[in-house]
């Protein structure tokens, strides 16, 4: 099971629920399950079949460059975070 943490700006879709557990092999599958439970979630997180530009996924505290293809092994924490630029 992976624990998906719902970003504050999307909690209106989840009726205030802050996290849910899903059984998913990758981030894309987890998003589809979130969308089935909370309609509109995929539209807010994805553009087509990829994460929206400006959004990144962190799995167990590590940023992943694989987006929706990032694998979710047993007992993972998943956070969706805005990309922060700088230089």
List, in order of start, the domains of the chain with CATH numbers: 2-82 (3.10.20.30)
CB contact at 8 A, 11 and 80:
no
CB contact at 8 A, 3 and 78:
yes
pLDDT score at 87: 57
> Strand (E) positions, the chain?
2-5, 19-22, 46-47, 50-51, 55-59, 62-64, 76-82
Residues in the chain where the model's pLDDT stays below 50: none
pLDDT score at 84: 77
Q: Taking the model in full, what pTM does it have?
A: 0.91
**Element housing 31 (H / E):** helix 27-37
CB contact at 8 A, 56 and 63:
yes
**67: which 2 tokens?**
């987006």
pLDDT score at 50: 95
pLDDT score at 86: 64
């Amino acid at each position: 099971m992976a624990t998906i943490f719902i970003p504050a700006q999307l909690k209106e879709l989840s009726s205030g629920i802050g996290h849910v557990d899903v059984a998913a092999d990758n981030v894309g599958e987890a998003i589809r399950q979130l969308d089935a439970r909370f309609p509109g979630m995929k539209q807010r997180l994805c553009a087509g079949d990829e994460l929206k530009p400006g959004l990144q996924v962190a799995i167990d505290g590590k940023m992943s460059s694989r987006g929706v293809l990032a694998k979710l092994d047993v007992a993972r924490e998943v956070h969706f975070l805005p990309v922060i630029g700088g230089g």
